[in-house]
């Protein structure tokens, strides 16, 4: 095949692009051919989300894999974590889920892993896949790869999820779930059936549940403030004890307390760390560098070891594998589990939170209140600026001389006696992301955020 212009859909650790101009069926075909060659694959798991374009792109991707002689284990409509699970469970040479997750309707993408569900970084495959897809300099085609329906793998996946919850510890709970018309609905139904059959005392309310690629309730991205009332309101109206909402491919889940309050991601990491350390004292816990004090202090109090990793799933997964950490969490709602191939899941956190609430005998709101008071934070604030490096230099010049600690593992982190911040360029969007936290001083967080807004705006 002839060479094509550089592919802008290849990002730091996955593929994401605007339909037609950045990602289309020709590009998907090329990615399939390139993935097969670079991975030396003979069997590849293939899944897809609910978007209409996902089916078309998955078909083109499959043709590319087949023309390279690869046999495809087809999951059909499924979540990204089901691709991760099936890749290891079926002993495949790699896995690809066609998904745009929470991106706008005119986008799509792919999340890829190699054998053992290990992440593919720039140096160990991603750059080579991109270069080969662009050049089209493929080995001679050897068509003949077969497509096998592998959707029955979901039963084994559900059995794996059930290993993460102690059913005997569960108390009666009314749970509201919002699938956002994404891929989560059918998978959750399979999990709910297993839970109820095993005696879990759950009263489940489903909203926006049926998969619908037109997303009649809007793109499922519960991290956005404007989308949170879609779950918060029904939680209160139904008198639920907790609400859970997922993004489109459900590798992220988001929590709401019984009063409809959204639970920020950094506090979820601290709570899930507690859930694991209560069962396995002394374990390692991975966290990202954006908002850290609640997690670090909670892990230390419980006798664990907190370890920092760069943001992004490929970095966290590698840190999990390198350290043997039992759990890793990002404030963006990605949660990773040693006993789930060190991969992220949007279903396991729900199970752990249900159990934690049951064990502590407290509402999620009450558990959160003490964390909010002790560790107020700004939440992630995004800035679209012309020169990211110049802005970071401005902030560094202003604050670095006053800092008591400095960390450049991922962006710029500066710590002071009673507050700290992390400022970093996004791996996936042309944005600067700012997070500020303090110890027991919400007014200080607000003041420093206003101060840094002025500096960045200037």
Q: Do residues 335 and 328 touch, judged by C-beta distance below 8 A?
A: yes
pTM listed for this prediction: 0.95
Query: Chain-centre distance of CA 6, in angstroms?
Result: 27
List the domains of the chain with CATH numbers.
Answer: 15-154 (3.40.120.10), 163-262 (3.40.120.10), 264-344 (3.40.120.10), 381-457 (3.30.310.50)
Which pLDDT belongs to residue 428?
65
Residue 238 half-sphere exposure toward CB, CA atoms < 13 A: 23
SS3 51: coil
Contacts of 229 (CB under 8 A, 6+ apart): none
The tens-digit pLDDT sequence of the chain (458 residues) is 899 999 999 988 899 999 999 999 999 999 999 999 999 999 999 999 999 999 999 999 999 999 999 999 999 999 999 999 999 999 999 999 999 998 999 999 999 999 999 999 888 899 999 999 999 999 999 988 999 999 999 999 999 999 999 999 999 999 999 999 999 999 999 999 999 999 999 999 999 999 999 999 999 999 999 999 999 999 999 999 999 999 999 999 999 999 999 999 999 999 999 999 999 999 999 999 999 999 999 999 999 999 999 988 888 999 999 999 999 999 999 999 999 999 999 999 999 999 999 999 999 999 999 999 999 999 999 999 988 999 999 999 999 999 999 999 899 999 999 999 999 988 767 789 999 999 999 999 999 999 999 999 85
Q: Do residues 380 and 374 touch, judged by C-beta distance below 8 A?
A: no
Q: State the pairing for strand pair 242-246/173-178.
A: parallel
Interatomic CA distance for residues 373 and 46, integer angstroms: 45
- Residues labelled as active-site residues: 101
């Amino acid at each position: 095949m002839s060479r094509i212009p550089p592919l802008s859909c290849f990002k730091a650790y996955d593929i994401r692009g605007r339909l037609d101009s950045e990602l289309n069926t020709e590009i998907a075909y090329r990615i399939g051919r390139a993935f097969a060659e670079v991975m030396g694959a003979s069997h590849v798991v293939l899944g897809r989300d609910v978007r209409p374009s996902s089916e078309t792109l998955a078909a083109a991707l499959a043709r590319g894999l087949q023309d390279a002689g690869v046999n495809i284990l087809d999951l059909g409509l499924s979540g990204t974590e089901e691709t991760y699970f099936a890749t290891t469970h079926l002993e495949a040479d790699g896995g690809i889920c066609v998904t745009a997750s929470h991106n706008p309707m005119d986008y799509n993408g792919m999340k890829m892993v190699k054998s053992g569900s290990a992440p593919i970084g720039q140096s160990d495959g991603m750059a080579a896949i991109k270069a080969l897809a662009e050049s089209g300099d493929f080995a001679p085609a050897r068509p003949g790869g077969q497509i096998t329906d592998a959707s029955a793998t979901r039963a084994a996946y559900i059995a794996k999820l059930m290993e993460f919850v102690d059913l005997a510890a569960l108390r009666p709970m009314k749970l509201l779930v919002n699938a956002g018309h994404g891929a989560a609905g059918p998978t959750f139904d399979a999990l709910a059936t297993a839970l109820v059959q095993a005696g879990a005392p759950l009263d489940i309310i489903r909203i926006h549940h049926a998969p619908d690629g037109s997303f009649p309730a809007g793109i499922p991205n519960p991290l956005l403030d404007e989308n949170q009332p879609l779950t918060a309101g029904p939680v209160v109206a139904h008198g639920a004890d907790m609400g859970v909402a997922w993004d489109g491919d459900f590798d992220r889940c988001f929590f709401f307390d019984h009063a409809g309050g959204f639970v920020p991601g950094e506090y979820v990491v601290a709570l899930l760390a507690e859930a694991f350390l209560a069962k396995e004292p002394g374990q390692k816990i991975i966290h990202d560098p954006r908002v850290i004090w609640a997690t670090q202090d909670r892990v230390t109090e419980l006798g664990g070891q907190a370890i920092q990793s760069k943001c992004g799933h490929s970095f966290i997964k590698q840190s999990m594998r390198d350290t043997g950490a039992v759990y890793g969490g990002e404030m963006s709602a990605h949660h990773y589990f040693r006993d789930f191939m060190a991969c992220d899941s949007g279903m396991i956190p729900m199970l752990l939170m249900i159990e934690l609430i049951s064990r502590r005998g407290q509402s999620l709101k009450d558990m959160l209140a003490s964390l909010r008071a002790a560790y107020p934070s700004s939440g992630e604030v995004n800035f679209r600026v012309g020169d990211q490096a110049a802005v970071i230099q401005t902030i560094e010049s202003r604050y670095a001389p006053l800092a008591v600690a400095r960390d450049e593992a991922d962006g710029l982190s500066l710590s002071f006696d009673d507050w700290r911040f992390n400022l970093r360029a996004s791996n996936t969007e042309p944005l600067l992301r700012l997070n500020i936290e303090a110890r027991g001083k919400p007014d200080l967080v607000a003041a420093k955020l206003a101060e840094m807004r002025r500096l960045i705006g200037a």
